[in-house]
Amino acid sequence: MTLDLWHTLMYLDPASEEAYMETQVEIAQRTLADSPRLPGSPDLTEAELGRAFERVYAEAVTKAGLGRTVTPANQLRQAGKATGRSPSTARYLRELEHVVRDAPFQRAPGALELLEGLREDGYPIGIVSNTIGEPGRFLRPALHAMGFDRYVHTYIFSDEHPWTKPAPEIFRAALDALGEPAERAVHVGDGWADIEGSRRAGYKAGILFTGLRSYGARYQALFLPAGWNRPATEYEVSRLDQVLRLVRKLLPT
Reduced to 3 states (helix: H, G, I; strand: E, B; else coil), residue 196 is helix
- Our separate counts of H helices and E strands in the chain read 10, 8
Backbone angles phi, psi at 74, to 5 degrees: -70, -30
* pLDDT given at position 228: 60
Homologous superfamily of domain range 2-12+106-250: HAD superfamily/HAD-like (3.40.50.1000)
Listed by start position, the domains of the chain span 2-12+106-250, 15-102
Q: At what angle do helices 111-120 and 243-250 cross, to 10 degrees?
A: 30
> In what helix (H) or strand (E) does residue 13 lie, and over which residues does it extend?
none
- Indicate if the pLDDT at residue 227 is higher than 60: no
**Which amino acid is present at 163?**
W
- Indicate if the pLDDT at residue 233 is higher than 90: no
Mean pLDDT of the residues in the chain: 95
Q: At what angle do helices 14-33 and 72-83 cross, to 10 degrees?
A: 50
Q: What is the mean pLDDT of residues 26-31?
A: 97
> In what helix (H) or strand (E) does residue 73 lie, and over which residues does it extend?
helix 72-83
The answer to whether the Cα torsion of 34, 15, 221, 108 is positive or negative is positive
96 within 8 A of 134, measured Cβ to Cβ: yes
| Tens digits of residue pLDDT in 129-161 | 999 999 999 999 999 999 999 999 999 999 999
- Range list of β-strands (E), 100-153: 106-107, 126-129
Backbone angles phi, psi at 243, to 5 degrees: -70, -45
| pTM for this model (two decimals) | 0.94
